[in-house]
Structure 1
Amino acid sequence: MLAGLSPARRRLVVTVLALVVVAVLVTGATLLLGRLSGAAGREPVSQSEPGPVLLVPGYGGSTASLQPLADRLAAEGRDATVVAVPGNGTGDLGGSADVLDEAVDAALERTGANSVDVVGYSAGGVVARLWAADGGADVARRIVTLGSPHHGTTLADLAGSLSPDQCPEACRQLATGSPLLIHLNAGDETPEGPAWVSIWTTQDETVTPPESARLEGALELPVQSVCADARVAHGDLPRHPLVQAMVLEQLGVAAPAALGPEDCARLSG
């Protein structure tokens, strides 16, 4: 086709084609870089720079239950906020995760920090996981759950079968085999980004069986693995001095580390 053109027209056509090729290559490269950038996401947060701590209440939504732990954290110089979840913590746990996300944004803006630590007590640990799975893992440094029914509790099963009208949405979501927990546990139980720690008590009579608090990929810390004689019920977890010391240990500058009987006296003192 070009052979029939004059030399001047041939040069013009070749120049135009070259410009089109360059434009296509530039556009393709830009799209590729955009995809790569989106896939890469945020840079991992620094594990050595603790930010504010958000504490999430459990079923019933009592902020008072977590205030002793928040006060202990504040006494150690940490910025600690107890999140007030909607519906007294008995409504949709996904809605509580949305409220946690708003509280995280507010804490980051207020403090200028790049990351947060989250402590979820009981159902609050499930809320923290829902938040992390929906993007919160990008700004979380540590996530600690306290006696959380990650795989449901048979108490919710019993309530749902014997008195369904007294088992609101969060109660149904915490039943073993609930659609919410099946979906949450179907993939990676501990999304990449934050360091995960699960602290629980073998004497739990609310999260039944207590082993439901185990979280695949997390550092597992049953209270009795540290102090075998410790008497800690479910409701004691946020206020028991030993448990508080364990939480502080895992939220420090150093990476989360296993604890054992050799740490009992130090953490109980």
Structure 2
Amino acid sequence: MLAGLSPARRRLVLGLLALLLVAAAVVAAVVVPRLAGDDAAPAAQDDTPGPVLLVPGYGGSTSSLQTLADRLTATGRDATVVAVPGDGTGDLTDSADALAAAVDDALDRTGADSVDVVGYSAGGVIARLWAADGGAAQARRIVTLGSPHHGTTVADLASGILPTECPAGCRQLTTDSELLAGLNAGDETPDGPTWVSVWTTADQTVTPPDSAELEGALDLPVQEVCADSRVTHGQLPSDALVQGIVLAQLAAGPPVELGAGDCARLRQG
């Protein structure tokens, strides 16, 4: 095709092709979302852990996590509860942006190399959104507490019966949510941090409770540690046993397997 063109026209066509290739590369860089696992090196696990960011659930109440933050502070950790936009019922990606800003602030303030993140309920989904958009490169460990990683039928019910009372954040937590389908389509736990999912079999908000299971994470139902625990969804952040589990998982070193032999010790607080 090019052989039949004059030298001047051939140079013009080749120049246009080069411009098109450059433009295509730019578009691809803008359109294709960052996948945190592509270039996130595993965070050091045995070094002194950095600050902890705690992310509230649907509704955005920071008070629900304050007792856990206080307990972390008492052990010498730098712990901050992240305030999510509005009332915490809006688009979860906006809350992920708020987490990203809080992480940057914490790293700048402390000079640490990485953070630990604890996401309660929808806060765990927010943490995953942040990690998938590059945050995994900044995290050492991500712990989720009773998070509906695969949706909850409670949100299905709200969306179906009272759609006007189910705002964006509620719709994003349904079992057929496009947002969750996208998060779960590839690697549920991007490289970089280590992942732990703590949940309760007595959960009546995240239904079924095993929606909190996360492929690639250390999955830890509270009842595997204390079989008689009846901790509910709303009690997860303030329960002494659950707090003990979280502190154990945020210590230096890799996540730890816990079982019945740890029940009494962790329950003492």
- For residues 69-103 of structure 1, give each alpha carbon's deviation from its aligned partner in whole angstroms, at most 9, with x where no partner exists: 00010001000000000121100000000000000
Identify which range, 100-109 or 44-53, moves more after superposition.
44-53
Paired position in structure 2 for 1:174: 173
- For residues 145-203 of structure 1, give each alpha carbon's deviation from its aligned partner in whole angstroms, at most 9, with x where no partner exists: 00000000000000000000000000000000110000010000000110000000000
Determine helix, strand or coil for the equivalent of 1:94.
Answer: helix
Matched, 1:47 2:49: no
Determine helix, strand or coil for the equivalent of 1:156.
Answer: helix
Q: What are the equivalent positions in structure 2 for 1:211-250 lying under 5 Å apart?
A: 211-250=210-249
Paired position in structure 2 for 1:251: 250
Paired position in structure 1 for 2:111: 112
Mapped partners of 1:261, 1:142: distance in 2:
24
Q: What are the equivalent positions in structure 2 for 1:147-226 lying under 5 Å apart?
A: 147-226=146-225
Q: What are the equivalent positions in structure 2 for 1:120-135 lying under 5 Å apart?
A: 120-135=119-134
| Structure with more contact order per residue of length (Cα contacts < 8 Å, sep ≥ 6) | 2
Q: What are the equivalent positions in structure 2 for 1:68-87 lying under 5 Å apart?
A: 68-87=67-86
Flag the structure with higher helix content: 1
Identify which range, 237-246 or 254-263, moves more after superposition.
254-263
- For residues 176-235 of structure 1, give each alpha carbon's deviation from its aligned partner in whole angstroms, at most 9, with x where no partner exists: 011000001000000011000000000000000000000000001100000001120001
Taking a change above 3 Å as real, the CA distance of residues 116 and 219 of structure 1, as seen in their structure-2 partners, is: same
Deviation, structure 1 residue 144: 0.1
Paired position in structure 1 for 2:58: 59
Mapped partners of 1:210, 1:219: distance in 2:
16
Mapped partners of 1:43, 1:236: distance in 2:
35
Mapped partners of 1:169, 1:220: distance in 2:
28
Paired position in structure 2 for 1:93: 92
Paired residue type of 1:141: R
Matched, 1:143 2:142: yes
Show structure 2 runs of 5+ residues with no match.
Answer: 1-36
Paired residue type of 1:90: T
Determine helix, strand or coil for the equivalent of 2:251.
Answer: coil
Q: Is the 8 A contact 2:41 2:192 kept in 1?
A: no
Deviation, structure 1 residue 43: 4.4
Paired residue type of 2:46: S
Show structure 1 runs of 5+ residues with no match.
Answer: 1-38
Paired residue type of 1:204: D
Mapped partners of 1:156, 1:45: distance in 2:
35
Determine helix, strand or coil for the equivalent of 1:89.
Answer: coil
RMSD: 1.2
- For residues 106-138 of structure 1, give each alpha carbon's deviation from its aligned partner in whole angstroms, at most 9, with x where no partner exists: 000000000000000000000000000000000
Deviation, structure 1 residue 257: 1.4
Mapped partners of 2:243, 2:235: distance in 1:
10
Paired residue type of 2:196: V
Determine helix, strand or coil for the equivalent of 1:87.
Answer: coil
Mapped partners of 1:189, 1:161: distance in 2:
27
Paired residue type of 1:44: P
Deviation, structure 1 residue 44: 3.3
- For residues 17-43 of structure 1, give each alpha carbon's deviation from its aligned partner in whole angstroms, at most 9, with x where no partner exists: xxxxxxxxxxxxxxxxxxxxxx98464
- For residues 27-68 of structure 1, give each alpha carbon's deviation from its aligned partner in whole angstroms, at most 9, with x where no partner exists: xxxxxxxxxxxx984643211220000000000000000001
Taking a change above 3 Å as real, the CA distance of residues 178 and 41 of structure 1, as seen in their structure-2 partners, is: closer
Q: Structure 1 runs of 4+ off > 6 angstroms?
A: none
